[in-house]
Structure 1
């Protein structure tokens, strides 16, 4: 680690992943089930702070266990976005996404959203500098952060972010749904009860976040996943899309996982390979210019493809 990296780690580092999971409102099962996820994300974040040179950073990330590698890349995205905010002329994030982070762009952008929340920057104000299709994913990371670290306001009081557009709030809610899955320790009854407290019009996006988190991060066996489906039967298209998106992200990065395949079989009625193929096919031929965001067309096509 360089001297500058040591200073950055001291200034911006997070002392303890376990302490984060010990905050009020978190289920005891959260740390028990997701400690490896949290530690991998922290490893990626601190790696970026300590030495953001692409070759050095990529080597550290690639050393992470394959199933957890996406979380390490998410942490790296968070760290690089934070560094770019301090020294924007470096453009580290852009170089990372164009290089070693290309196959992990989805979790990297989730991490960027985490950084924006910590820096109190609005994701939509930064879309111009990101991938035109996947840039919206930063609002998901933003929502995850707010629900995870400002639980009272965004989970207990169900606050709606005022600095996002209506469409941005949908991704925010997807991030909130993911946060509920991880902070709730994948205890299905608990997660479902929390979602019930939100306004009904937010439920679809919250459940899509649960589908994404449970498929990508795991934490539940088949019985628990079928319980999720029972609670969210009215939102199966969103659950299925979330799980299929997780499968697509893992296939793109080459880090497939058994728990992702299981979630796809329960929520999508097909294995992860087939579910990922639906997502990929839905992205073909998206309009370059459209009144409706291209990502929304992609999401709708994916839901229709999974239901076919």
Structure 2
């Protein structure tokens, strides 16, 4: 008889969709727009949490994959992210199984970016060295693990990570860059995707960290639940200032995530149109081409070279962009 491991682990790994709006309210106080935004965020959070526990209950590919594929395309990538969380936790509990790599190189291959993020969401809670774990992963995409790590720390250790701007001592070198990208993605949810709260929170960080945080905002803006109109995205674009290319890189990576799910969302097209002057499919092509041949690290991590290549294309793109103004001027 197979034990319902998900139920057994809930007391020691208490993750619930309901926790997201409560924690946001604790940080910013009761906000009328938060309740409305949560109606859009709720399916995303619930899919992530539900697939995490479903994976713990039965990680066999024959059971897990049909379940993930039954989820509507717009949320399917989130479901694979939740599966990455579950498989990472299982591997930490039963290290001889190697469920995560088998899934990434097997039926989850096309979603490996999101699976890596899911694994990173669990990494802060398990006794595994981030450096050692990263060394075992795909040279190009492994830094997405740190995106998940940064998301988790930013959301669940808000005071240390966001208010005090601390980075865990185990996160070193280039891993800090991926960590900050995850911090940015987390701020999208923590602030209720409110433009003013996003901008004010990012401006509180040291200047040398803001570019990667803006990149995380770009990814979330283009990939996560669509709650912003064109004007709001244009305001973010203006506020990013010298970090606009980082915002563009994040949105380009989001376009690949959407492509993997087999269905672009309207808000992904909208964000790409504002930032790139192209739809999500065209931006995904740009992102793919920017990564051609990058299979191993050189003087810089392959992932960083890929991001720089995407940023260079955006810089050369002749797009009529919003008039740049000083926010708050």
- TM-score w.r.t. the length of structure 1 is 0.94
Unaligned runs of 5+ in 2: 317-329
Which residue of 84, 88, 101 corresponds with 2:95?
88
**How far is the alpha carbon of 1:125 from its aligned partner?**
1.9
1:275 equivalenced with 2:283 (yes/no): yes
From 240, 253, 258, the equivalent of 2:261 is 253
The match for 1:243 is 251
DSSP 3-state at the match of 1:21 = helix
Aligned-pair distance for 1:16? Answer: 2.8
Q: Is the 8 A contact 1:18 1:31 kept in 2?
A: no
On the 8 A contact 1:14/1:42 being kept in 2, the answer is no
Q: How many residues align?
A: 308
Deviations 1:151-174 (A, max 9, x none): 011111111332222311111000
Using the alignment, how far apart are the partners of 1:145 and 1:276 within structure 2?
A: 26
- In the TM superposition, 1:108-123 aligns within 5 A as 108-119=115-126, 121-123=128-130
- Note the alpha carbon deviations across 1:122-150, whole angstroms, 9 max, x for none: 42220132112111110110000000000
The CA deviation at 1:76 is 0.7
Q: CA deviation at 1:3?
A: 2.5
Asked whether the 8 Å contact 2:185–2:217 carries over to 1, the reply is yes
Matched, 1:141 2:148: yes
24-33 or 143-152: which moved more?
A: 24-33
Change (3 A) 1:296 1:175: same
Aligned-residue CA RMSD in angstroms?
A: 1.8
Partner residue, 2:27: 25
- TM-score, length basis structure 2: 0.89
Distance 2:19 2:87 in 1: 23
Structure with higher helix content: 1
Give the 5 Å matches for 1:153-232: 153-217=160-224, 218-232=226-240
Structure 1 moving runs of 4+ over 6 Å: none
Q: Where in structure 2 are the equivalents of 1:60-79 lying within 5 Å?
A: 60-79=67-86
Report if the CA contact (8 A) 1:278-1:306 is conserved.
no
Of residues 190-199 and 17-26 in structure 1, the stretch that sits farther from structure 2 once superposed is: 17-26
Give the 3 Å change call, closer, same or farther, for CA 186–81 of structure 1 in structure 2.
same
Q: Is the 8 A contact 1:8 1:49 kept in 2?
A: no
| Offset, 1:99 | 1.7
Shift of 1:120: 5.2
| Structure 2 residue 62 is matched with structure 1 residue 55 | yes
| Pair 122,267 (structure 1): closer, same or farther in 2 beyond 3 Å | farther
Q: Distance in 2 between matches of 1:7 and 1:194?
A: 36
1:35-87 superposed Cα distances (whole Å, 9 cap, x missing partner): 11101101210111110001211111112121111111111101100000011
1:302 aligns with 2:310: yes
